[in-house]
Amino acid sequence: MRNIKMIVAYDGSRYKGYQKLGDNDMTIQEKLESVLSKMANETIEIIGSGRTDMGAHARGQVINFKTNCIDSVDKIQKYLYEYLPEDIVVKTVEEVDERFHSRYNVKSKTYLYKIDNNKYHSPFMRKYAAHISKKLDLDRMRKASEYLIGEHDFTSFASSKSKKKSNVREIYSINIKENDDIVEIYIEGNGFLYNMVRIIVGALIDVGLKRKAPQDVKHMLESKDRSKSSDTAPAKGLCLWKVKYE
């Protein structure tokens, strides 16, 4: 039995998220498993490094699956490129140790959140960035983000649907960049709760719009109360950027 690892990029605009919900549903997992199963002539179940929400995207989603298929990794990649829809592309395919697990072996994940901060939204960015017409104060946002670095209980930044045993996570870095009024927020951590990145971005947006002070983010964190935090930023601005392993 071979263990195959792939890095996958996808535009999540028309999908109900990564995770399969039922038979023949519009999810990234269902599309990948369907094509892989036909290729291998056996039922393939994939394991993803994480789940992305409906409408969210990925540049570096990592998956692995076990198979008896004898095709070379190059042949597998060419088959997937031909038969997957154009909004899902497998960037790399390699055979790895049987113990590799795309979710359990993760060292860190980096998410990118994009904001179109122009007065009028770009029609070319409308599916890939949240639009905010009022100018954001990035210095305030950077100051607020400093309170989130390190290991904390992120209950205030997790959706009520989150069912993790512990809400303690560690954020390694938050970098906020701007180019031609496109704001990019990169968040790297050892793991993330359901909607955690989008809620963090919602809080940073509130600070950037001067609805809240930077230190209010510290109070949100310490409260461990989701109702004390900000609204969840739209999914379309979110992209799973990179996954690192040991």
Structure tokens at 165: 């045993």
- The residue among 45, 44, 40 whose CA lies nearest residue 103 is 45
Class of domain 107-245: alpha beta
Tell me how long the chain is.
Answer: 246
Contact 69, 39 (CB under 8 A): yes
- The residue among 53, 55, 73, 58 whose CA lies nearest residue 10 is 58
Q: How many Å apart are CA 42 and CA 29, to the nearest integer?
A: 16
How far, in Å, are 91, 123, 242 from residue 113 at the CA level?
Answer: 21, 18, 13
Give the residue ranges of the chain where pLDDT is below 70: 23-24, 161-164
Q: Are both 2-96 and 107-245 of the same fold? A: yes
| H/E element, 80 | helix 73-83
Q: For 8-36, what is each residue's pLDDT tens digit? A: 999 999 999 999 887 668 999 999 999 99
Give residue limits of the domains in the chain.
Answer: 2-96, 107-245
Q: For 209-220, what is each residue's pLDDT tens digit? A: 999 999 999 999
- Please name the fold of domain 2-96: Alpha-Beta Plaits (3.30.70)
> Is 0.85 topped by the overall pTM?
yes
* Alpha helices (H) along 101-211: 138-145, 196-208
Which one of 11, 53, 206, 216 is the catalytic residue? Answer: 53
Known catalytic membership, residue 53: yes
